[in-house]
Amino acid sequence: MAYVPLADRDSEMEMHHPHTWIGRWVFCQDHKVIAIQYGSIAVFTGLVGLILSLLFRMQLGFPETADYIDPSFYYQAVTMHGMIMVVYLLTALFLGGFGNYLIPLMCGARDMVFPFMNMLSVWVFLVSVIILMASFFVSGGPTGGGWTLYPPQTNLAGTPGHDMGIVLMLVSLGVFIVATTMGGLNYVVTVLQYRCRGLTMMRLPLSVWGIFIATILALFAFPALLVAAIMMLFDILLGTSFFMPAIIESGAPLDHNGGSPVLFQHLFWFFGHPEVYIVALPAFGLVSDVLSVHARKNIFGYRMMVWAIIAIGGLSFIVWAHHMYVSGMHPYFGFFFATTTLIIAVPTALKVYNWVLTLWEGDIRLNAPMYFAIGFIFTFIHGGLTGLFLGNVVIDLPLSDTYFVVAHFHMVMGVSPVLVVFAAIYHWYPKMSGRMFHEGMAKLHFWCTFLGTYAIYLPMHYLGFLGVPRRYYALGTTDFLPQSAQDLNTAITIAALFVGASQLLFFINIIWSLRNGPKADPNPWGAASLEWHTPDTPPKHGNWGESLPTVYRWAYDYSVPGAHEDFIPQNTPESEEPTVDEQHFDPDQDESLADV
Amino acid sequence: MALAVVVVLLVVGSIVFHFMQLYGGPWYFTELAADWGAIDFTMNVTFWVTGFVFIVVNLFMAWCVYKFRQKDGHKAVYEPENNKLEVGLTIFTTVGVIAMLAPGLFVWAQFVTVPEEADQYEVLGSQWQWQFRYPGADGQLGAADVGNVTPTNPFGINLEDPSGQDDVVVNEPNMHLPIGRPVQALLRSHDVLHNYTVAQFRVKMDLVPGLVSYLWFDPTVEGTYDILCEELCGIGHFIMRGSVTVESQAEFDAWIAAQPTFAETQALAATAPDVAAGQAAYALCATCHGAQGEGNQALNGPKLAGQEAWYTERQLKYFKEGVRGGEGDTNGAAMVPMAMTLADDAAIRNVSAYIETLPDQPAAATVTGDVDNGRDIYQKNCAACHLDDGSGTWYTDAPGLAGMSDWYFVTQISNFGAGIRGLHPNDHYGEQMVSMATAMADESEIEDVAAYINTLR
Amino acid sequence: MSLFKTITAKPWETKGVIGGLEAEGAIDAPNEKVALSVFLVVASVVFSLFTVGYFLRMELPDWQPLSEPAQLWFNTGLLVISSVLFQWARNIVNTDDHKNVKIAFITGGFFAIFFIAGQLLTWSNLQEAGYFMTSNPANAFYYLMTGLHAVHLLGGLWVWSKSSIRLLSGRDSNDVKLSIELCTLYWHFLLVIWLVLFALLSNT
Distances (CA, A) of A362 to A290, A378, C13, C69: 13, 18, 20, 72
Question: Which among A64, A478, A76 has a CA at the least distance from the CA of B438?
Answer: A64
Taking the CA atoms of C44, C45, C46 and C49 in sequence, report the sign of the dihedral they define.
positive
Please give the average per-residue pLDDT across B409-416, as a whole number: 92
Closest-CA distance of chain A to residue C170, Å: 24
Q: Give me the pLDDT at residue A564, please.
A: 82
Closest-CA distance of chain C to residue A235, Å: 9
CB-CB contact of B363 with B309 (8 Å) = no
Q: Measured between CB atoms, which of A185, A238, A303 is closest to C8?
A: A303
Q: Give me the pLDDT at residue A59, please.
A: 93
What type of residue sits at position A247? I
Q: Measured between CB atoms, which of C8, C31, C134 is closest to A4?
A: C31
Q: Measured between CB atoms, which of A375, A386, A395 is closest to B104?
A: A395
Looking only at Cα atoms, what is the longest distance across chain C?
A: 72
Please give the average per-residue pLDDT across B403-416, as a whole number: 92
Q: Measured between CB atoms, which of A1, A242, A266 is closest to C20?
A: A1
Question: Which among B142, B156, B227, B216 has a CA at the least distance from the CA of B181?
Answer: B216
Three-class SS state of B283: helix
CB neighbour list of residue B430: distance below 8 Å, 6 or more residues apart: B323, B324, B416, B421, B422, B423, B424
Q: Does C50 touch chain A (CB under 8 A)?
A: yes
What type of residue sits at position B312? T
CB neighbour list of residue A215: distance below 8 Å, 6 or more residues apart: A95, A99, A183, A184, A187, A188
CATH class of the B272-454 domain in this structure: mainly alpha
Cα–Cα distance measured from residue A75 to residue A78, given in angstroms and rounded to the nearest whole number: 5
Cβ contact A71–B238 (<8 Å): yes
Q: Give me the pLDDT at residue A583, please.
A: 44
Q: Give me the pLDDT at residue B108, please.
A: 95
Question: Which among B367, B360, B366, B362 has a CA at the least distance from the CA of B449?
Answer: B367
Q: Which fold has domain B119-269?
A: Immunoglobulin-like (2.60.40)
CB-CB contact of A88 with A45 (8 Å) = yes
Cβ contact A113–C31 (<8 Å): yes
Closest-CA distance of chain A to residue B76, Å: 4
Cα–Cα distance measured from residue B230 to residue B228, given in angstroms and rounded to the nearest whole number: 6
Phi, then psi, of B99 in degrees rounded to 5? -60, -35
Cα–Cα distance measured from residue A359 to residue A378, given in angstroms and rounded to the nearest whole number: 13
Q: Which residue of A has its CA nearest to C54?
A: A242
Q: Measured between CB atoms, which of C22, C25, C57 is closest to A260?
A: C57
**Cis peptide bond upstream of B128, omega within 30:** yes
pLDDT band at B202 (very low <50, low <70, confident <90, very high): very high
DSSP A480-521: TS-HHHHHHHHHHHHHHHHHHHHHHHHHHHHHHHHHHSPBPP
CB-CB contact of B65 with B11 (8 Å) = no
CB-CB contact of A580 with A565 (8 Å) = yes
Instruction: Show me where the domains of chain C are located.
Output: 32-203
What is the C-alpha end-to-end distance of chain C, expressed in Å? 44
Cβ contact C56–A263 (<8 Å): yes
Per the prediction, chain B carries an average pLDDT of 91
CB neighbour list of residue A303: distance below 8 Å, 6 or more residues apart: A202, B81, C7, C8, C9, C10, C11
CB neighbour list of residue B76: distance below 8 Å, 6 or more residues apart: A295, A296, A297, A361, A362, A363, A558, A559, A566, B68
CB-CB contact of B154 with B140 (8 Å) = no
Q: Measured between CB atoms, which of B46, B71, B431 is closest to A388?
A: B46
Closest-CA distance of chain C to residue A116, Å: 13
DSSP annotation of A538 reads: S
Cα–Cα distance measured from residue C148 to residue C142, given in angstroms and rounded to the nearest whole number: 10
Cβ contact C34–A192 (<8 Å): yes
Cα–Cα distance measured from residue B130 to residue B429, given in angstroms and rounded to the nearest whole number: 11
Q: Which residue of B has its CA nearest to A257?
A: B210
What type of residue sits at position C135? S
Chains that touch C (3 or more CB pairs under 8 A): A, B
Higher pLDDT: B303 or A4? It is B303
Pairing of strands B119-126, A252-253: unpaired
Cα–Cα distance measured from residue B157 to residue B153, given in angstroms and rounded to the nearest whole number: 7
Closest-CA distance of chain A to residue C151, Å: 13
Question: Which among A178, A89, A194, A112 has a CA at the least distance from the CA of A418?
Answer: A89
Closest-CA distance of chain C to residue B362, Å: 40
User: Exposure of C3 by Cβ count < 10 A (0-12 exposed, 13-18 middle, 19+ buried)?
Assistant: exposed
The runs of H, that is alpha helices, within A297-367 are 302-315, 333-343, 345-359
Q: What is the distance of C-alpha A67 from the center of its chain?
A: 34
What type of residue sits at position C195? L
Closest-CA distance of chain C to residue B81, Å: 10
Cα–Cα distance measured from residue B85 to residue B103, given in angstroms and rounded to the nearest whole number: 28
Three-class SS state of B170: strand
Instruction: Show me where the domains of chain A are located.
Output: 23-243+258-533
Residues 36-95 of B with CB under 8 A from A: 38-39, 42-43, 46, 49-50, 53-54, 57-58, 60-61, 64-65, 68-71, 74-82, 85-86, 89-90, 93-94
Q: Does A300 touch chain B (CB under 8 A)?
A: yes
Chains that touch B (3 or more CB pairs under 8 A): A, C
Residues 90-129 of B with CB under 8 A from A: 90, 93-94, 97, 100-101, 104-105, 107-109, 111-112, 126-128
Q: Does B80 touch chain C (CB under 8 A)?
A: yes
Q: Give me the pLDDT at residue A18, please.
A: 63
Q: Does C170 touch chain A (CB under 8 A)?
A: no
Cα–Cα distance measured from residue C148 to residue C47, given in angstroms and rounded to the nearest whole number: 9
Is it the case that residue B429 has pLDDT exceeding 60? yes
Cβ contact A328–B205 (<8 Å): yes
DSSP C129-193: TT--TTT-HHHHHHHHHHHHHHHHHHHHHHHHHHHHHHHHTT--TTTTHHHHHHHHHHHHHHHHH
Phi, then psi, of A555 in degrees rounded to 5? -85, 5
Q: Does A246 touch chain B (CB under 8 A)?
A: yes
Name the stretches of chain C with pLDDT < 70: 1, 21-22, 173-174
Cβ contact C62–A238 (<8 Å): no
Closest-CA distance of chain A to residue B266, Å: 19
CB-CB contact of C93 with C179 (8 Å) = no
Question: Which among A468, A284, A295, A467 has a CA at the least distance from the CA of A376?
Answer: A284
Phi-psi sector, A322: left (phi>0), alpha (psi -120 to 50), beta: alpha
Q: What is the CA radius of gyration of chain B?
A: 29
CATH class of the C32-203 domain in this structure: mainly alpha
Q: What is the CA radius of gyration of chain C?
A: 22
Cα–Cα distance measured from residue A210 to residue A95, given in angstroms and rounded to the nearest whole number: 10
Distances (CA, A) of A155 to A129, A165, A328, B17, B67: 22, 10, 20, 43, 58
Closest-CA distance of chain C to residue B407, Å: 46
Q: Which residue of B has its CA nearest to C10?
A: B80
Question: Which among A526, A518, A520 has a CA at the least distance from the CA of A584?
Answer: A526
Q: Which residue of A has its CA nearest to B189?
A: A247
Cα–Cα distance measured from residue A399 to residue A401, given in angstroms and rounded to the nearest whole number: 6
Cα–Cα distance measured from residue A477 to residue A310, given in angstroms and rounded to the nearest whole number: 48
Q: Which residue of A has its CA nearest to B77?
A: A361
Chain B environment of A301 (Cβ under 8 Å)? 80-82, 86
Per-residue model confidence as pLDDT tens for chain A (596 residues): 333 444 445 444 444 566 676 767 777 889 999 999 999 999 999 999 999 999 999 999 998 887 788 899 999 999 999 999 999 999 999 999 999 999 999 999 999 999 999 999 999 999 999 999 999 999 889 999 999 999 999 999 889 999 899 999 999 999 999 999 999 999 999 999 999 988 989 999 999 999 999 999 999 999 999 999 999 999 999 988 899 999 998 888 998 888 899 999 999 999 999 999 999 999 999 999 999 999 999 999 999 999 999 999 999 999 999 999 999 999 999 999 999 999 999 999 999 999 999 999 999 999 999 999 999 999 999 999 999 999 999 999 999 999 999 999 999 999 999 999 999 999 999 999 999 999 999 999 999 999 999 999 999 999 999 999 999 998 888 888 899 999 999 999 999 999 999 999 999 999 999 999 999 999 999 999 999 999 998 898 889 888 889 999 999 999 998 888 889 999 888 776 554 444 444 444 444 443 43
Q: Does C4 touch chain B (CB under 8 A)?
A: no
Q: Does C35 touch chain A (CB under 8 A)?
A: yes
CATH class of the A23-243+258-533 domain in this structure: mainly alpha
Closest-CA distance of chain C to residue A28, Å: 21
3-state secondary structure string across A47-85? HHHHHHHHHHHHHHHCCCCCCCCCHHHHHHHHHHHHHHH
CB-CB contact of A466 with B27 (8 Å) = yes
Cα–Cα distance measured from residue A162 to residue B232, given in angstroms and rounded to the nearest whole number: 14
Chains that touch A (3 or more CB pairs under 8 A): B, C
Cβ contact C53–A242 (<8 Å): yes
Q: Does C60 touch chain A (CB under 8 A)?
A: yes
The runs of H, that is alpha helices, within B366-424 are 371-377, 383-386, 406-418
Chain A environment of C150 (Cβ under 8 Å)? none
Cα–Cα distance measured from residue A349 to residue A381, given in angstroms and rounded to the nearest whole number: 8
Cβ contact A366–B69 (<8 Å): yes
Three-class SS state of A166: helix
Neighbours of A318 (CB within 10 A): 16
Cα–Cα distance measured from residue A453 to residue A411, given in angstroms and rounded to the nearest whole number: 8
Q: Give me the pLDDT at residue A577, please.
A: 57
B228 membership: H or E segment, kind and range: strand B223-229
Instruction: Show me where the domains of chain B are located.
Output: 2-67+82-112, 119-269, 272-454
Q: What is the CA radius of gyration of chain A?
A: 25
